[in-house]
Structure 1
Amino acid sequence: MGGVAVLREVAASFVVPGPAGVAIRDRLKGLTIADEEVLRLVGGHLGSLASRDLRARCADGLDHDAERWAQRKRELTGESSSRWAGSVTKATHDQWALARRGQAAHVQSLEAGVAAVRHRLALPIGAKGTKHAAGGYRSEREWFAKSRRLRVLEDRLERERADRAAGRVRVVRGGKRLLNTRHHLEEAGLTEGEWRRRWEASRRFLQADGESGKRYGNETLRVSPDGEVSIKLPAPLAHLANAPHGRYVLTARVAFAHRGEQWRDRITANRAVAYRIHEDVDRDRWYLTASWSIPAVQAVPLATVRANGLIGVDMNADHLAAWRLDAHGNPVGAPRRFDYDLSGTAQHRDAQVRHALIRLLHWAARHGLAIAIEDLDFTAETTREKHGRRKRFRQLISGMPVARLRARLLSMAAELGIPLVAVDPAYTSQWGAQHWQKPLTSNKHKTTRHEAAAVAIGRRALGHPIRRRTTPPRTHQSDGYGHRTVQAEPGTPGREGPHPRIPGPRTRCVPPGRGAKVGDQNTHHRSGCSAEHETWQQDSLPLSL
């Protein structure tokens, strides 16, 4: 008996909640040599304390509790201050938690790779695969090599599971990639001095959590409404102070161009604002980042979002394909394409994504519509064991900035008040191409697979099935030979009755007396019939039910 493909259950669509915080940044212009030296000394001293605290937190593992946290904070207070110690310990705990989440994702990736190799090893050599599962290996040589790789993956998986059960994580302050670059300076195009500057800058600690009720919302890193920045120096560096109460005032002033009024309102009301100072070694600049939490905005009900239709968006490696749909799931107008180029530096890629999203959001804002997008997660898709030798395809998936695009779209849409609907990505490309690509293709426009997927995404967000009802055979159409694409559900009252005359496209009106009894024929069968005249309200008809 042949195998039957089992479709996985499609998750329900939902309105994405808004962002929980805001972050803005400005450059510290006009710093003197003394200012930069103080920032390096303070950041280096607090960075050494953060490294020591991270080692202690990793040693505690899963046995860490509130009492141990308080003990760590007391150990750091004597060499800094109570507020600096609180910021260090909180940042350390967040870093440990992030390492745990990364460890869980790595275990998931290894499990997917082991399952894929085991499946392919169990198949005969040369067995063909399907759309849902890979086939057997091509030769005995490849089968033998993969059998050895399976042992390697199983050993790695066993070690990672043991580390996770014991609460062990492996994390490097400054980044593992930059650490390994030290051994490949020629390939990276760096000298030892340049690498050392980057390493020291990445390991500095100059960030302080805000405190509501304190002056300007932060006692440690304080920024006044006129842009003056002052730092509470740690105890060993108090002799560097140039202001009362052990503080150092920087020469540079900041003026946040984006959300500056919101920031000024917060600090004027003494509401908490967190700050972070960091050095960009490549540009030889210093930056100040301000961040604060915002109250959760109640999400718009899904029924309200669906009322006027929405825009379905399909994300691809080099563009966003979008199509507007009405409330019935019918495509309206022509599709739109928003291109971006993901080559070059990280700043260039981020700018390309941002510009594409700006054009998409402005289009949605002009029509007052929500945006439907797939809830993508390629954690199990990027493993090389699943896609075999399709190296370019794996690189294509790995290069898609899913997380960055999702974060950018969420924050930018919330700023414009545009709701986002997340849908399950299962089968949207396949079913969209199957049911919508050919019907939407005309002599003037050839619909692409991605545009058809955008229609499928939009229909799923609206609660309609993706499948499009096809036209019945000619002898089975309404009224013998009249064209009918829309078919009523079996339980719809009056589905077998005659249909009212639909006004023509030119006048949009019905001549007097025409079709007065078309919608109700009970006059011919029994007395006591209903009124002869009924009011029909013309509306756009859905292409499927």
Structure 2
Amino acid sequence: MGGLRELAAPFVVPGPSGVAVRDRLKHLSAGDEEVLRLVGDHLGGLASRDLKARCAAGPDHDSDAWAERKRVLTGESSSRWAGSITKATHDQWGLARRAQLAHVQGLEAGVRTIEHRLSLPLGQKGGKGAPGGYRSRREWFAKSRRLHVLEDRLRAARADWRAGVVHVVRGGKRLLHTRHHLDAAGLTEPRWRERWEAARRFLAADGESGKRYGNETIRVTPDGEVSLKLPAPLAHLANAPHGRYVLAARVAFAHRGEQCRDRVSANRAVAYRIHQDPVRGRWYLTASWTISPATTVLLAAARANGLIGVDTNADHLAAWRLDTHGNPVGRPHRFDYDLSGTTAHRDAQVRHALIRLLHWAKRHHLAIAVEDLDFTADKTREKHGRRKKFRHLISGLPVARLRARLVSMAAELDIPLIAVDPAYTSRWGAQHWQKPLTGKNRKPSRHDAASIATGRRALGHPIRRRTTPPRTHQSDGYGHRTVQAGAGTPGREEPRPRIPGPRTRCVQPDAARTRATRTPKTVRDIRSDQVWAQDPLLLTE
């Protein structure tokens, strides 16, 4: 065990701190859409200017500079629109700053890996946690050139980090680069321009408790009427008092609609965002608010009735139910999903797989144990070399999407989640559980065995099926050999009982009493009586 890394302790995952629901703005008139475009374009231009000012300030930005930015925007919009713009700008700059630091750390890890492999002789095998040398001189030369490229990128990224320079694109860098590859994307310039303008519009407003319906800028009444406060230069477009514009569309959130109406009626803060889907030609309204974190149960309480161990894979979830002693119960379950196609299709596939898993756990009142996966540093080609299929495999795992979905959906059903360290679960699960559970009618896969390993780690049991007795006393004097049977399990120390009769095909019913005391006259193989053959895997009910 000297070469293994230290394992983190399992913990109960806390619930979400906020929710968001979305509904389509149906039956908008042509005038409504034109007003939304004008307001979004005007506020998007202000947001672009504010982002430029925020990036120019860098890390030296303080509250006084923030107040000055807000005063500049207030004259061309309103104080509440200006507050929403400056807050969104500050969050976007902070996200870019964190992504820049992660990029620097990734480049540093790549440089260290290449330098280590270049220092080793050609063809030398690697050890645990350390890659070996390159296979050929040609590969060694190619990696030496790549090392210089990464070092140049690292120097530039470090210089930007020290100077506080971040590179942010409102609308998205991917969509910006698509402008130069319209043929490959299957777009014309007008279609691309429509998507670009839709992505750069700003129509978002933060809520404020105590104000009417929880938001003075974008307001939604309990009956679904939507109105927004127009910026000062567009106040002449108002169709309602106090410079407001009321849309013809009504919203009725199908999910959490009752909760949203309760908050609106109580004048509690609700944030809104209006955005356009140019591909479908639709407008949507997203409402979001914070919630009190769900009460986290104790780890011992989550383990009380056993749990379901889950192994996450690129195309399915492998799950197996375990009792409190860590024994697999019943048969393994597999929840498939297909991550090909559009983003909406992939998201729906993950959601449907999680629904089936959660309903199964809810029926049996069980917690769910999942691996705390994070492949941030494990996707680079410097770490895995030529193993392109493996890199594509771990890149395709829906880790972030599945984690966010599972936490929010489990909180709604009051199902505890236990996160465990994912180290060695696949390897040790296959080593200790795949073969013993394989039979004529059941052939578990490595993923099924990994789900057992995940569940046993969440229960606090070792993954191994058996514990070795002390070398000085190879018997049961120091404790039972197996870790499956509990201390109070009846008959856990006795061998399998011998039932005389036709089942044994060698012992008559009336000879059961005299056979144990009679001395055999001939030497026979004791295994032929099938008396002392102990069950190779003691499982409790």
Give the structure-1-normalised TM-score. Answer: 0.87
8 Å CA contact retained: 2:274, 2:286? yes
- For residues 105 and 227 of structure 1, the distance between their equivalents in structure 2, rounded to whole angstroms, comes to 43
Q: How many residues align structurally?
A: 497
Q: Which residue of 2 aligns with 1:284?
A: 281
| 1:364-383 correspondence to structure 2 within 5 Å | 364-383=361-380
Deviations 1:459-508 (A, max 9, x none): 111111112216889x96669xxxx752799xx999xxx977699899xx
What secondary structure is seen at the aligned counterpart in 2 of 1:328? coil
- How far off its partner does 1:437 sit? 1.2
Question: C-alpha separation between the residues in 1 aligned to 2:92 and 2:333?
Answer: 41
Determine the C-alpha separation between the residues in 2 that align with 1:505 and 1:81.
Answer: 88
Q: 1:179 to 1:500 in 2, by over 3 A?
A: closer
CA displacement 1:51-107 (0-9 Å, x = unmatched): 111111111111011111111111100000000000000001111111122112212
Corresponding residue of 2:61: 64
SS class of match (1:212): coil
Per-residue CA distance 1:372-416 (angstroms, 9 max, x = gap):
111111111111111111222211211211100100111111111
Matched, 1:93 2:90: yes
Cα distance in 1, alignment partners of residues 421 and 469 from structure 2: 30
Whole-angstrom CA distance in 2 between matches of 1:201 and 1:488? 59
Compared with structure 1, are the counterparts of its residues 215 and 505 closer, same or farther at alpha carbon in structure 2 (3 Å cutoff)? farther
For the Cα contact (< 8 Å) 1:372–1:421, is it kept in 2?
yes
Aligned partners of 2:430 and 2:449: how far apart in 1?
6
Match of 1:352, SS state, is helix
Query: Aligned match of 1:469 in 450, 466, 470?
Result: 466
| Among candidates 237, 241, 245, match of residue 240 of structure 1 | 237
Summarize deviations over 1:345-385 as a string: whole Å, max 9, x none.
11111111010000000000001111111111111111111
**CA separation in 2, counterparts of 1:100 and 1:436?**
45
**Alpha-carbon distance in structure 2 between the residues aligned to 1:463 and 1:436:** 17
Taking the aligned partners of 1:456 and 1:375, their CA distance within structure 2 comes to 14
CA distance 1:375–1:505, change in 2 (3 Å): farther
Q: Indicate the residue corresponding to 2:383 in structure 1.
A: 386
The answer (yes or no) to whether the contact 2:171–2:196 under 8 Å persists in 1 is: yes
CA 1:68–1:100 in structure 2 vs 1: closer, same or farther (change >3 Å)? same
Deviations 1:182-225 (A, max 9, x none): 00000000000000000000000000000100000000000011
Q: 1:77 to 1:221 in 2, by over 3 A?
A: same
What displacement does 1:158 show? 2.3
Per the alignment, residue 519 of structure 1 pairs with none
For residues 538 and 90 of structure 2, what CA distance do their matches in structure 1 show? 53
1:411-450 aligned within 5 A: 411-450=408-447
2:342 to 329, 342, 345: 345
1:400 to 2:397 alignment:
yes
Match of 1:199 in 2: 196
The 1:166/1:339 distance shift into structure 2, 3 A limit, reads same
- 1: CA distance, partners of 2:152 / 2:254: 53
Amino acid at match of 1:41: L
Deviations 1:129-157 (A, max 9, x none): 34633221121121111111112112212
Task: Say whether the 8 Å CA contact 2:47–2:89 is kept in structure 1.
Answer: yes
Partner deviation per Cα, 1:252-280 (whole Å, 9 max, x = no partner): 11111111100000000000000000000
* TM-score of the pair, normalised by structure 2: 0.88
Identity %: 75
Mapped pair 1:175 → 2:172: yes
Cα distance between partner residues in 2 of 1:315 and 1:261: 34
Q: Are the counterparts in 2 of residues 108 and 380 from structure 1 also a CA contact under 8 Å? A: no
* Cα distance change of structure 1 residues 191 and 460 upon mapping to structure 2, 3 Å threshold: same
Give the conservation status (yes or no) of the 8 Å contact 1:421–1:461.
Answer: yes
Cα gap change, 1:255/1:123 in structure 2, threshold over 3 Å: closer, same or farther?
same
Aligned equivalents of 1:150 and 1:14: distance in 2? Answer: 40
- The aligned residue for residue 102 of structure 2 is 105
Provide closer, same or farther for how the CA distance between residues 377 and 478 of structure 1 changes in structure 2, counting only shifts above 3 A.
closer
Structure 1 residue aligned with 2:185: 188
In the other structure, the counterpart of 1:269 is 266
The alpha-carbon deviation at position 124 of structure 1 amounts to: 0.8
Greater mean deviation of Cα atoms: 298-307 or 73-82? 298-307
Determine if contact 2:469/2:476 at 8 Å carries over to the other structure. no
Report what 1:34 is aligned to: 31
Whole-angstrom distance in 2 between the partners of 1:33 and 1:448: 57
CA RMSD after TM alignment: 2.6
1:295 counterpart = 2:292: yes
Aligned residues of 1:329 and 1:542 also touching (Cα < 8 A): no
Q: Secondary structure at the match of 1:460?
A: helix
Secondary structure of residue in 1 paired with 2:279: coil
Pair 1:398–1:310, CA change in 2 (3 A): same
Partner AA of 1:196 in structure 2:
R
Identify the range of structure 1 (130-139 vs 5-14) with the bigger mean alpha-carbon deviation: 130-139
Cα distance in structure 2, aligned partners of 1:428 and 1:79 = 58
For residues 310 and 31 of structure 1, what CA distance do their matches in structure 2 show?
A: 49
Aligned to 2:401, what secondary structure does the other structure show? helix
Question: For the residues of structure 1 that align with 2:150 and 2:404, how far apart are their CA atoms?
Answer: 32
Structure 2 CA distance for aligned equivalents of residues 107 and 364 of structure 1: 42
Q: Do the aligned partners of 2:484 and 2:538 also contact (CA within 8 Å) in 1? A: no
1:160 aligns with 2:157: yes
Task: Tell me the amino acid that sits aligned with residue 230 of structure 1.
Answer: S
Question: Aligned in 2, Cα 1:380/1:23: closer, same or farther, shift over 3 Å?
Answer: same
2 CA distance for matches of 1:52 and 1:395? Answer: 39
Deviation sequence 1:299-347 (CA, Å, 0-9, x none) = 1111110111111100000000001111111111111000001111111
> Which residue of the other structure, out of 132, 142, 147, is the alignment partner of 1:145?
142
Instruction: Answer yes or no: is 1:211 the counterpart of 2:234.
Output: no
- Cα pair distance change 1:471/1:206, threshold 3 Å: same
Letter aligned with residue 486 of structure 1: T
Structure 2 equivalent of residue 18 of structure 1:
15
What CA distance in whole angstroms lies between the structure 2 residues aligned with 1:170 and 1:72?
20
1:136 aligns with 2:126: no
Distance 1:505 1:44 in 2: 85
Residue 455 of structure 1 aligns with which residue? 452
User: Any conservation in 2 of the 1:329–1:543 contact (CA below 8 Å)?
Assistant: no
Unaligned runs of 5+ in 2: 500-536
SS at match of 1:467: coil
